[in-house]
Structure 1
Amino acid sequence: MTKKRCVILSNKLFALDIGTRSVVGIILTEQDGRYHVADLVTIEHKERSMIDGQIHNIVSVAAVISEIKYILEERHGTLKKVSVAAAGRALKTMEGSMTIDIAGTSLFTSEDINRLELAAVQQAQQKLLSSASTTDDYYYCVGYSVLHYKLDGDEIGSLIDQAGRTATAEVIATFLPRVVVESLLSALMRAELEMEALTLEPIAAINVLIPPSMRRLNVALVDIGAGTSDIAITNNNTVVSYGMVPIAGDEITEALSNHYLLDFPVAELAKRSLATEETITVSDILGFEQQAASSEVITIIKPSIEKLASCIAEEIKRLNNSKSPQAVMVVGGGSLTPLLTKELSIRLDLPENRVGIRGLDALSDVTISEGIVSTPALVTPIGIAIAARRAPIHYMSVIVNEKTIRLFELKEMTVGDALLAANIKARQLYGKPGLGMSITLNGGLMTVPGEHGRPSIILLNGKPASTIDFISNGDEIALERGLDGRDASATIRDLIGDYSPIEVTINGREHTILPSIECNGIPVGLDTAVNDRDEIYYSHSTKLNDVLSEIGIENFDPFEVYVNNKSVILENWTPQYIVGNMPVPLDHRLKDGDEVRLGTQTYPSVGEVISSLEKSTLTTASITFNGEPVTMTNIGASILLNGQRVDTSTIVRPGDQLIIQETVQWPFLFSDVFLFIDYSLPKTASTSYQLLRNGEPIGFNDPVYSGDALEIRFGT
């Protein structure tokens, strides 16, 4: 990244990155969204007072912090407050889910969703506390993300205003052990500093390297320090998980130390020079000087590099549902370890250009003062300072049910966050649901649920509040238990609806149609109360065919015939039922006061049946004869009705068998015209005549076609 000389801006911020190998102090200024690194001091621990990112010697760490504070105060004035980060190794992530029954409730509200999410987070917390590897008895929930909402088992984008049988929230929650925070506070107090804000190391690096617009991609960020390698995974527009492996740069330093018999600080300096020097010269613990080519040293420490890469790759896959991400970003001092990115790409099955070291050049809108060396090791300290400015975590104390609770403000804190910290169980947010009933209705099993428990009443400083209301330091929250729901109760009317008798007139006679209801074999009324395991049967159909059957009127069967051995329903000749002045089908539902008349039976001819079937057995020709229009028709088929040959005028009745056999279509002849006209010879006609078609002579057995003009002329 190109260094720029900048004017020191306003809004000075002091931040510390307390790492395993060293402590970095940074002075950051900000104006209009742009950041400037005004000063930076790095001091290594005098002894191994930090192990795997955790403070083990508070006095020693506090001494280093005091030294950094003194140096920076000489340059920038008195420093009273500082922003710090909790080590990524301390973070615990756990998935949780909660499903509730919402059948029969009103539409889902944002308050309902928030209570459901809190219950899912508590389930994750219980899983964490019950895990065998966990000994801490108290955790701060420092954030959670919703993975999925589900309605009736299917994923859905939002539960707002939804209605169904069940609603589910699946979350991934991040927890921080109390001991981590307490040790940080103790070290700062010894250095006469007040914690102004707290952030989390993986969150800090993510915030500066992977903005929200990039988090739709499945990317792993690995911050390799001295004792730990912190990992954060992004996907689907959020940070989905955090993790850590207790192996980092010290593993490589120890390999060098063991092979060449070097004091640890000497081995550390030798390791750092591998990236820039072709040969290294070191003195072992016996005082002998040794010189070796950097390539030879890298070969010696390669097994340790491979071990570090394997541990990081395995943890990335574990956090990423057993698969490799799309890309990996590596930061921190340990990222400069030779061959590390290549070994990571091999173990993650990624191209080498998908695993890259990210330095300060990746930070947009950040400038640094001259004299500060730009290395990947500075990404996390700068990220801590920026994250502390953008999204600081403050302490807050509130009282929940007369008990003082301390919270971390990773965001604007809500009543729900306070209830979570106070370990208020999800079941305490609602009264117990009432007992349900199982009923058999017309042979099918149905459940009548009990009444849902009513939500608890939440009071914030004595006034009604919801779980999403914001809280401030010193607020008092009280929870009044919600009322339990009543046990299920119902009448038959509740189950089947309001079935009133209807009065109808059929063919001039009035009829009353009543519902038929039995409970456990005994006739009952609509207002009869039902009990668990009752068997209920009812019928009250207002369909025309059911009503006709009930009052003993025989329904007209559809007009069915068989054409070439296939059943055919002739709708036009099926008797119709008239309600008012309109024909209706048999499944028409009658209403109170309807008048029904039954139509009369008529029968079609063979020709009408054939026409209704749209069979192409009819040939026609339109001509003129002696100037008058004539239409000639010819059935091009052989027709059998119940085994007998018939013509098109024969009447067809229900159940008849028609066989239609296609025959060869012959053209019309001149002589055929007399079959379709009533023609008599003129009384004064001569014995000589002439047949003409379109003015030309033609014979009696010659063909004629549609459009022809035919005539007979008699001689004089």
Structure 2
Amino acid sequence: MNEKIFALDIGTRSVVGIILEKNGDQFQVKDLIALEHKERSMLDGQIHDVLSVAGVIKEVKEKLEEKHGSLKKVCVAAAGRALKTQQTKSVKSIENQPMMGEEDILHLELSAVQKAQYELARSEEEEDSTSYYCVGYSVLHYHLDGEEIGSLIDQQGKEASVEIIATFLPKIVVESLISALQRADLEMDALTLEPIAAIHVLIPKSMRRLNVALVDIGAGTSDIAITNYGTVTAYGMVPVAGDEITEALSDQYLLDFPKAEEVKRKLSPSETVKMVDILGFETELSYNEVVESIAPAIDKLARSICEEILRLNLKTPQAVMLVGGGSLTPELTKKIADMLELPANRVAVRGTEAIQNLQKSDIVPEGPAFVTPIGIAIAAKENPVHYISVHVNERTIRLFDLKQLTVGDCLLSAGIEINKLYGKPGMAFTITLNEKHMTIPGTFGTPPKILLNGEEASLKDPIEHGQHIQVERGRDGHSPEISIEELVGEVPSLNVILNGKTHRVDSQIFVNGHLAEKHDMIQDRDRIQIKSPGTIRHFLEMTDHTHYIKDHKPFTLYVNQNKVKLNAQVVSITLNGRDAQLNDPIKHNDQLNIHTCTSVPLKDVLTFLEMDISEKIPVMFESEEIVLTKPKISVFRDGTKLDENDPVFPGDQLFTKEHDAEPFIFQDIFRYIDLNLTDMNGKRFKLFINGEEGGFSDQIAPGDELKIVWQDSVTMKDKS
């Protein structure tokens, strides 16, 4: 017995009922009825008035029942124009994490799908994002650190992102469809999507590996489906279709809408067309004249279709198939081919005659208008879309089996936020190391644990009716556990030879001002300082020679209560034989010598102050130069008079006393010569200054020649 199939194509303008008989692998249309809606109860594929639509469905059903008996179950399709497409982007930080694998990328993609679902719900003013079924999605672009990349597998960087386009079917479309059928005393036997129906009968599975765009051009919208890689990869819709052409004819020739629709259908390249406008004037025009007058509207339709195809497919497809009454728009195939830069024979209108396994019948006219109704009947029976139920964390979820469903699809439908399944990274530490701020990241969170019927599964694993999914969120990471040595590496050390003795110096570690060990663990907000002997000062500090630093200052004392800084240093430093300062750098095996200056002679202090403690003049006596001195000032320390060779110490308080200025006289020479007058036995002498006779109190000057001449008494008497 041949099987009869009852199908309905519930469109925006009309409802088409069809009785299809299956005989083996062949199909034959036994009956077909089309009734227009009595009022505008459908809009863009969505039932707005269930009662009105149900009334038309019931009328179609009853007319068919008159010939074919009672009809209880029906195959229907959700309109392609009801599909919602949303494009969005999901971004994820991957800094310091291991290279990305397939599961990480799928997680990123599904997060983008869920984001698209939320954005769609918000744009449609829906409170619940799960009121949409995800029919499918396509990846448009991957990006790594802002640059487009072909694949994210095994990539590393700071930020990964994916841009996707996802297609959703509102649950209300299906629910309102079921409600209308129930009011017409019908039960939904099977469900399909209109684009899938047309593709099913025109593009067999063996051809779906080809990149083909199928466009169903109706009255108000043009529905688009893309095939590639053996499946349907994208769906789309543009709100431009056959009515645009009808309206253009109406505007151009002053025709009412029905007359303009009639003119459109009569257009033929081989015939002229007659029309009567609203004023009663009759006009007869050639095909080319009419087409030229409405060319802008045809261009708009072609351009809208091409732009949507390119948006969905990202490139020109290999071929384009047109179905639906609007596909007969004059010159449309040529314009689409030109705009997509395809050969003319790669864009074609396909009619019922192209449906495989369909026996010819006088009931169904050839042409593209009834491809979709027949496709609904065949596809809904051969490849129906069923509800399946799965359990996610003990909650029952119902999904439409529109494609190969995966664990990820179930989580989306359950409203589980996929981007929150992974454990959060542990809290990072912020520390200061040698006055520089740095961040130490915590450990990564673990991936979620997904069990499918008790066994570990991934987001991409397929699911079947009745299966149980258990999802456990990944564990959060923890704060870093790292020692000072692990952070900074080996702590440096060096050898320095100080005053002939070798000193080995290790760097010192200070944490928050306290001496620490290299094995100590770092805590958040620690202030860490690594003190390495980089300079002479650091070396002396780290070897307990700080007294050298303290005493490394100018030699300072006080003269008459005035502070005096000598050129000399209390501590003098040489590095490798050269004078050095405390802040000079020091290296491994450097020779460092430090000398302490505890005192200086008083004469050095007076010389620095340009003060003379005595006055001096040179004179000649008996052909020998003698330097005569006379004190100018006296220097006292604590009341004690100092000699010019006496030592002076840092911090000493010195006071000076000036003497009255007196000239040098001849008798001053006697303090510097040895003259024994006891042996003279009354001898007399004379004093000569520069050959002139003088006296003891005569003044002398620098360079004077002094002489004493002795004479006995007889000689002197004779002379007298």
Bin of the TM-score, shorter chain as denominator length = 0.5 to 0.7
Encode CA deviations 1:286-333: one digit per residue, 9 max, x unaligned.
9x6957345254455444334433433444455455x75554332211
More displaced stretch, 60-69 vs 235-244 = 235-244
Encode CA deviations 1:366-420: one digit per residue, 9 max, x unaligned.
5444542221123323333444345432234566567665432213544432321
Q: Which residue of 1 aligns with 2:38?
A: 47
Q: Which residue of 2 aligns with 1:203?
A: 196
Q: Which residue of 2 aligns with 1:567?
A: none
Q: CA 1:328 to 1:518, structure 2 compared with 1: closer, same or farther past 3 Å?
A: farther
Q: Which residue of 2 aligns with 1:429?
A: 421
SS in 2 for 1:490: coil
Q: Which residue of 2 aligns with 1:486?
A: 478
| Cα distance in structure 2, aligned partners of 1:498 and 1:14 | 82
Encode CA deviations 1:431-482: one digit per residue, 9 max, x unaligned.
3221234789999999753222234555778987654566566777665544
Confirm or deny that 1:14 pairs with 2:6.
yes
| Cα distance in structure 2, aligned partners of 1:243 and 1:434 | 43
User: Residues 100 and 152 of structure 2 are in contact (CA less than 8 Å); yes or no, is this contact kept in structure 1?
Assistant: no
Q: Which residue of 2 aligns with 1:61?
A: 53
Confirm or deny that 1:173 pairs with 2:169.
no
The AA in structure 2 aligned to 1:305 is I
SS in 2 for 1:39: strand
The AA in structure 1 aligned to 2:71 is L
Confirm or deny that 1:453 pairs with 2:445.
yes
The AA in structure 1 aligned to 2:176 is S
Q: Which residue of 2 aligns with 1:564?
A: none
TM-fit CA distance, 1:335: 0.8
Q: CA 1:29 to 1:474, structure 2 compared with 1: closer, same or farther past 3 Å?
A: same
The AA in structure 2 aligned to 1:88 is G
TM-fit CA distance, 1:41: 1.2
Equivalences for residues 78-477 of structure 1 within 5 A: 78-100=70-92, 112-131=104-123, 138-147=131-140, 155=149, 159=153, 169-210=162-203, 219-234=212-227, 239=232, 241-257=234-250, 264-275=257-268, 278-280=271-273, 290=282, 292-293=284-285, 295=287, 297-319=290-312, 327-348=319-340, 350-396=342-388, 405-437=397-429, 448-456=440-448, 467-468=459-460
| Cα distance in structure 2, aligned partners of 1:368 and 1:449 | 72
TM-fit CA distance, 1:75: 5.2
| Cα distance in structure 2, aligned partners of 1:207 and 1:40 | 21
Confirm or deny that 1:36 pairs with 2:10.
no
SS in 2 for 1:24: strand
Q: Which residue of 2 aligns with 1:652?
A: none
| Cα distance in structure 1, aligned partners of 2:484 and 2:476 | 25
| Cα distance in structure 1, aligned partners of 2:431 and 2:357 | 68
Q: CA 1:15 to 1:99, structure 2 compared with 1: closer, same or farther past 3 Å?
A: same
| Cα distance in structure 1, aligned partners of 2:257 and 2:368 | 22
**TM-score normalised over the length of structure 2:** 0.59
**TM-score normalised over the length of structure 1:** 0.59
Encode CA deviations 1:16-60: one digit per residue, 9 max, x unaligned.
22222333334456688x452433514131435334433344333
Larger radius of gyration: 2
User: Residues 30 and 363 of structure 2 are in contact (CA less than 8 Å); yes or no, is this contact kept in structure 1?
Assistant: no
Q: CA 1:221 to 1:48, structure 2 compared with 1: closer, same or farther past 3 Å?
A: farther
SS in 1 for 2:240: coil
| Cα distance in structure 2, aligned partners of 1:537 and 1:374 | 89
Encode CA deviations 1:625-645: one digit per residue, 9 max, x unaligned.
xxxxxxxxxxxxxxxxxxxxx
SS in 1 for 2:169: strand
Q: CA 1:51 to 1:100, structure 2 compared with 1: closer, same or farther past 3 Å?
A: closer
Q: CA 1:409 to 1:216, structure 2 compared with 1: closer, same or farther past 3 Å?
A: closer
| Cα distance in structure 1, aligned partners of 2:198 and 2:355 | 10
Equivalences for residues 508-523 of structure 1 within 5 A: none
The AA in structure 2 aligned to 1:329 is M
Q: Which residue of 2 aligns with 1:617?
A: none
| Cα distance in structure 2, aligned partners of 1:538 and 1:388 | 80
TM-fit CA distance, 1:246: 1.9
Q: List runs of 5+ in structure 1 lacking aligned partners.
A: 1-7, 500-513, 540-716
Q: CA 1:317 to 1:427, structure 2 compared with 1: closer, same or farther past 3 Å?
A: closer
TM-fit CA distance, 1:225: 0.6
Q: CA 1:246 to 1:166, structure 2 compared with 1: closer, same or farther past 3 Å?
A: closer
| Cα distance in structure 1, aligned partners of 2:60 and 2:475 | 58
More displaced stretch, 263-272 vs 471-480 = 471-480
Identity %: 56
More displaced stretch, 143-152 vs 301-310 = 143-152
Encode CA deviations 1:204-248: one digit per residue, 9 max, x unaligned.
334444556666665443211111111234567765543322222
Encode CA deviations 1:318-360: one digit per residue, 9 max, x unaligned.
5455x75554332211111222223434555555444322234
TM-fit CA distance, 1:483: 3.1
Q: CA 1:345 to 1:467, structure 2 compared with 1: closer, same or farther past 3 Å?
A: closer
| Cα distance in structure 2, aligned partners of 1:170 and 1:210 | 29
| Cα distance in structure 2, aligned partners of 1:273 and 1:62 | 33
| Cα distance in structure 2, aligned partners of 1:211 and 1:157 | 31
Q: CA 1:215 to 1:538, structure 2 compared with 1: closer, same or farther past 3 Å?
A: farther
| Cα distance in structure 1, aligned partners of 2:317 and 2:463 | 38
User: Residues 219 and 329 of structure 1 are in contact (CA less than 8 Å); yes or no, is this contact kept in structure 2?
Assistant: yes
Q: Which residue of 1 aligns with 2:692?
A: none
| Cα distance in structure 1, aligned partners of 2:304 and 2:99 | 48
User: Residues 14 and 37 of structure 2 are in contact (CA less than 8 Å); yes or no, is this contact kept in structure 1?
Assistant: no
Q: Which residue of 1 aligns with 2:609?
A: none
| Cα distance in structure 1, aligned partners of 2:437 and 2:20 | 69
| Cα distance in structure 1, aligned partners of 2:316 and 2:150 | 26
Q: Which residue of 1 aligns with 2:565?
A: none
| Cα distance in structure 2, aligned partners of 1:496 and 1:342 | 71
User: Residues 255 and 277 of structure 2 are in contact (CA less than 8 Å); yes or no, is this contact kept in structure 1?
Assistant: yes
Q: CA 1:401 to 1:267, structure 2 compared with 1: closer, same or farther past 3 Å?
A: same
| Cα distance in structure 1, aligned partners of 2:205 and 2:386 | 23
SS in 2 for 1:253: helix
Q: CA 1:354 to 1:411, structure 2 compared with 1: closer, same or farther past 3 Å?
A: closer
| Cα distance in structure 2, aligned partners of 1:224 and 1:358 | 12
More displaced stretch, 518-527 vs 477-486 = 518-527
Encode CA deviations 1:151-207: one digit per residue, 9 max, x unaligned.
787746584x88887665543211123332233222222222222333322333344
User: Residues 149 and 158 of structure 1 are in contact (CA less than 8 Å); yes or no, is this contact kept in structure 2?
Assistant: yes
Confirm or deny that 1:70 pairs with 2:93.
no
| Cα distance in structure 1, aligned partners of 2:508 and 2:233 | 57
Q: CA 1:122 to 1:257, structure 2 compared with 1: closer, same or farther past 3 Å?
A: same
